[in-house]
Chain A
Amino acid sequence: DQQVKQNSPSLSVQEGRISILNCDYTNSMFDYFLWYKKYPAEGPTFLISISSIKDKNEDGRFTVFLNKSAKHLSLHIVPSQPGDSAVYFCAYRDDKIIFGKGTRLHILP
C-alpha cells in the first residue's frame, strides 16, 4: 500500500523546457517532503525539500510546490538541462523516510 505515489514511470522533455514531476500522498498528517535524484550506479542525492507550513520552496532551477488540500506535490525544473536526466524520487519523512517508486526523466537534445 503505497503512501507516496509517483504515477508516471517516465517523462521526456525537450532541453530548455520545463520538466514537471508529480507526486501524490495519502496521509494528510505528513508534514515534510523531499525530492531525491538518482543517476545509474550511484546512490540517490538530496535535491530539495518542503515543509507543510509552506506551499513553495525554490532552489535555483528547482522549485517544489505543495498542495495540501489535494495531497499533491510537484517538482519543477526550469530550464531543463541534459544533466537532469535521472530518476527522481519523492519521499515523506516522519521517524523515517519513505520513498515513492520514482520517475525517470529524459531530457531530449
Chain B
Amino acid sequence: NAGVTQTPKFRILKIGQSMTLQCTQDMNHNYMYWYRQDPGMGLKLIYYSVGAGITDKGEVPNGYNVSRSTTEDFPLRLELAAPSQTSVYFCASSYSIQNYNSPLHFGNGTRLTVT
C-alpha cells in the first residue's frame, strides 16, 4: 500500500547544479501535482498534470520542468539550482479533479537545500 512515493527524502545541492526529484504513485491516478512549502508560506503549486503527456504550470513554475510520460511517474527537474529553491517539495496525486470525493494524496516530501 505505497500510495505516493518521493525520492530522495533529503538532498543538498550546490548553486548551479541540477537534479530530478522523483515521484511515483501506484493508485492509477490521472492527476498529479508538485508543490513546494516554504516556512510560513503554505503550499505553492509548481506544476501539475491531468494525465500522461499533459502538463501545465501552477503558481510558481519558474526554474522547474516536469514531464509525464507514464501515469505513474511525475518527475520534477531543477536545471540550475538557486538558493531560492531551498524548500520542502511535495508530490501529490488524485483520481479526478471533478470528483469531489477524490482528495489529494501526498507523498512525505523531499527536503532540498541549495547552498
In the complex, the chain A residue whose C-beta lies closest to that of B91 is: A43
Is A101 interfacial (CB-CB < 8 Å)?
A: yes
Chain B positions within 8 Å of A, measured between CB atoms, are 4, 33, 35, 40-45, 48, 50, 58-59, 90, 92, 97, 100, 103-109
Find chain A residues with CB under 8 A from B48 CB: 96
Find chain A residues with CB under 8 A from B44 CB: 99
Query: Which of A6, A32, A34, A44 has the most C-beta atoms of chain B within 10 angstroms of its own C-beta?
Result: A44
Residues B90 and A43 in contact, CB atoms below 8 Å apart: yes
In the complex, the chain A residue whose C-beta lies closest to that of B31 is: A96
Can you report 28 residue pairs joining A to B where beta carbons are below 8 Å apart? A9-B40, A36-B104, A41-B108, A41-B109, A42-B108, A43-B92, A43-B107, A43-B108, A43-B109, A44-B90, A44-B104, A49-B100, A49-B103, A51-B100, A93-B97, A96-B33, A96-B48, A96-B97, A97-B45, A97-B104, A98-B45, A99-B35, A99-B42, A99-B43, A100-B42, A101-B41, A102-B42, A102-B43
A102 CA to B37 CA in the complex, in Å?
A: 11
A45 CA to B109 CA in the complex, in Å?
A: 12
Interface 1/0s, chain A 22-46, versus B by CB < 8 A?
0000000000101010000111111
